[in-house]
Amino acid sequence: MPGKNGSMSAGGPTAATDRAARERILLKRYHERGDMSARDQLAEEMLPLARALAGRYAGRGEPLDDLVQVACIGIMKAIDGFDVTREVRFSSYATPTVLGEIKRHFRDRTWALHVPRGTQELQLKVAKARDELTNELGRSPTVEEIAKKVDASLEDTLSAIQSAAAHRTRSFDEPVGEDSTLAESIGGADPELGRAEVRVLIDEALDVLSDRDREILRLRFEEDLTQTEISKLIGVSQMQVSRLIRQSLARMRMDIESSAPRRSSAA
């Protein structure tokens, strides 16, 4: 609505122009005169922007107050890095800086277990895509739909979804009952003892494979690389890697099964 003097109301273009001019004045006072009070004042006035941007990531496992603090750090970095000679609004410059700071917080500080950087970044895209698809479809999306949305392979998308569990670990000292801790509740026999014979069988069965096939299995199950990553290292397509893995496992299974009668006889 126009005001008495014909200008737009407080939320209109005139108010926005006034805010932009005020931001530039404070920025010039800080960058050209070293006025720290101007820096602090601008940071305080940008708090609503920080809260709004932090709110986009609410409900993803981090307290909102912590995200606001991270967003404020982004605001301060934007103030320090702003070039007053550029004709751009500070809020337009600050927004990607703040969002980048929040994403780095999720990527670098909230992962309790080691997860490859690419998987961390994809996990954030998957989380966002899942929210958007749920709103669009009115139901939980399938993995295939999420993969298509983020333009990633089905395997990489599954890895990203599974990696979400690495955001948090539980302390062994966490109480799970009266006079009982998590460590006490999960104690038991070492499962590795029962797997010793299996390891011997697998080691023997590996001898039926070529050096390349053994290397592919090592990269997949020991190094935990994806089929796409293996394909780049080996120099074949991802589909070929998938086929080679299946064939290698089938050959090892046949060798183990055929050796069972021999082991029984020897016993």
Out of 143-147, 208-212, 227-231, 262-266, pick the least confident.
Answer: 262-266
Give the residue-averaged pLDDT of 138-162: 81
Say what the pLDDT of residue 3 is.
Answer: 42
12 — pLDDT class (breaks 50, 70, 90):
very low
Q: Residue holding tokens 């797997």? A: 195
Return the number of other C-beta atoms located less than 10 Å from residue 153's C-beta: 14
Q: Residue 147: is its pLDDT beyond 50? A: yes
- Averaging pLDDT over each range in 8-22, 87-101, 112-126, 244-258, which range is the top one? 87-101
Cα separation, 213 vs 246, whole angstroms: 10
Higher-confidence residue of 67 and 111: namely: 67
Which pLDDT score, from 0 to 100, does residue 256 have?
A: 76
For residue 8, the model assigns a pLDDT of 38
pLDDT at 13: 54
* pLDDT, position 158: 74
User: How large is the average pLDDT for residues 58-75?
Assistant: 84
pLDDT reported for residue 196: 57
User: Where do the domains of the chain lie, and which CATH numbers do they carry?
Assistant: 11-110 (1.20.120.1810), 112-167 (1.10.10.10), 190-260 (1.10.10.10)
Q: Which pLDDT score is estimated for 187?
A: 47
Q: Which of 11-20, 101-110, 122-131, 150-159 has the lowest mean pLDDT?
A: 11-20
The stretch 112-117 carries a mean pLDDT of: 54
59: left (phi over 0), alpha (psi -120 to 50) or beta: left
Judging by beta carbons within 10 Å of its beta carbon (0-12, 13-18, 19+), is residue 71 exposed, middle or buried? buried
Helix locations, the chain, DSSP H:
13-33, 36-45, 47-55, 64-81, 90-109, 117-137, 143-150, 154-163, 182-185, 191-205, 211-221, 227-234, 238-266
Residue 7, pLDDT score: 37
- Is 195 or 139 the better-scoring residue by pLDDT? 139
Separation of CA 99 from chain center: 14
* Mean pLDDT to the nearest integer, 175-204: 56
Integer Cα distance of 146 and 140 in angstroms: 10
Looking at residue 19, what is its pLDDT?
Answer: 82
